[in-house]
Amino acid sequence: MHVSMTVPTDDLRQARTVYRELEGLGYDRAFSFEAKHDPFIPLAVAAEHTDHIQLGTAIAIAFARTPMTLANVGWDLQTVTGGRFVLGLGSQIQPHVEQRFSMPWGNPVARMEELVRAIRAIWHAWETGERLAFEGEHYTHTRMIPAFSPGPNRYGLPPIFTAGFGPQMTEVAGRVADGFLVHPVNSRRSLLELTRPALERGAAAAGRILDDLEVVCVTIVVTGRTEEELHRSREAVREQLAFYGTTPAYQPVFELHGYGGLLPELQALARQDRWQEMAALVDDELVETIAVVGEPHEIAPQIRSRLAGISDHVSLVNNRAPDPQHFAEVVAALHR
């Protein structure tokens, strides 16, 4: 089992130490994510304090940037990390793209696919010296002169992973990405009934097979070495799921497990800014459906069972109550 972790980024100074700790624990990859801070800066710092762990974004918000800016940062971090970078991209939702980033929104599925193709076209021009000639519906890149081309990357080009939730955005990964980052609102049933079929449709449309794609199952972990730690971890996930429940895109997984009526209730409370009351609507059954729950020694077998026949790449996460020892026991057990 390949094991990754999504690294909390509240204190950017920890980038000097936390990625090195994860490398020492045997993680194969560590992801930053875009919330309160830029997702790329911690990885540039981490590159200088690690040797072999892969470093990636899960995710950087694609539509907050252009293909050229993403091509630049991807090329640069691939160089700084010595070939260990993964460019993970997600769309975010319309209000954030328009109102937080002041960027255009429209036809996000086609835009994401085109953005990935545009990044690759830019990299191809840099690698080969051929004329840059990408013209799409959403992005046009036709000007590149030697003064602005970094040329071929000595470490090769980084893989591009995309994230998504609905079937159409999931199919995009099957068509154009090197990997897919499965959103943490998932279960074994949703992976089998919703995620895999969409990836297979996308891959087939591009003449690929699912084995051409690395599927990283981001999995919420609720664990603790004491009752107090376990309670803290569970309540943090309850709050996280209440927050996720305000986003209509996640409705299919909630409906799949009989919680379709929960989202309107959560959304109504959110509109009234009654955020503190929302977690009480998320019961233990839903927490245990979405998250992997148990004492540290119980987590690895549950993950293996959940992902058997689906993926051998897991990314552990509980951003609101991170494990103080970075799930060390779980990582060791998964590698055994």
In a domain, 273, yes or no: no
The tokens 């085109």 sit on which residue?
114
Residue with tokens 């252009």: 66
Residue 249 is predicted with a pLDDT of 85
**Average pLDDT, stretch 273-300?**
94
Name the percent of the chain lying above pLDDT 70.
Answer: 100
Token pair for residue 183? 């959103």
32 assigned to some structural domain: yes
How many domains does one find in the chain? 1
**Type of residue found at 186:** N
**Residue range 80-107: mean pLDDT, rounded:** 95
User: If you average pLDDT over residues 155-173, what whole number do you get?
Assistant: 96
Dihedral pair phi/psi, residue 29, rounded to 5°: -155, 150
75: pLDDT strictly greater than 90: yes
In a domain, 27, yes or no: yes
Q: Is residue 266, in this structure, part of any structural domain at all?
A: no
The pairing of strands 54-57 and 160-164 is unpaired
Give the phi and the psi of residue 283 in degrees, each rounded to 5. Answer: -85, 170
Query: Domain span at residue 18?
Result: 2-221+312-335
- Average of per-residue pLDDT across 246-273: 92
**286: pLDDT strictly greater than 90:** yes
- Mean pLDDT, the chain, rounded, equals 95
Does residue 80 form part of some domain?
yes
Tell me, what's the pLDDT at 319?
80
Cα distances (angstroms) measured from residue 320 to each of 116, 156, 185, 220, 332: 31, 35, 15, 11, 23
Is residue 62 included in any domain, yes or no? Answer: yes
What pLDDT, on the 0 to 100 scale, is given for residue 248? 86
The model's pLDDT over 175-230, given as tens digits with 9 standing for 90+, comes to 999 999 999 999 999 999 999 999 999 999 999 999 999 999 999 999 999 999 99
**Which pLDDT belongs to residue 281?**
95
3-class secondary structure, 107: coil
* pLDDT score, position 11: 87
First CA to last CA distance, the chain: 9
- Whether 152 is covered by a domain: the verdict is yes
Rounded to whole angstroms, how far apart are CA atoms 330 and 269? Answer: 36
- Three-class SS state of 241: helix
What's the CATH number where 8 sits?
Answer: 3.20.20.30
Residue 67 falls inside a structural domain: yes
Query: Which tokens is 194 given?
Result: 């919703």
Q: Kindly list the distances between the CA atom of residue 182 and the CA atoms of 22, 118, 219, 259, in Å, as whole numbers in the listed order.
A: 21, 23, 9, 20
Quickly state the pLDDT bin for 323 (edges 50, 70, 90).
Answer: confident
pTM metric for this prediction: 0.93
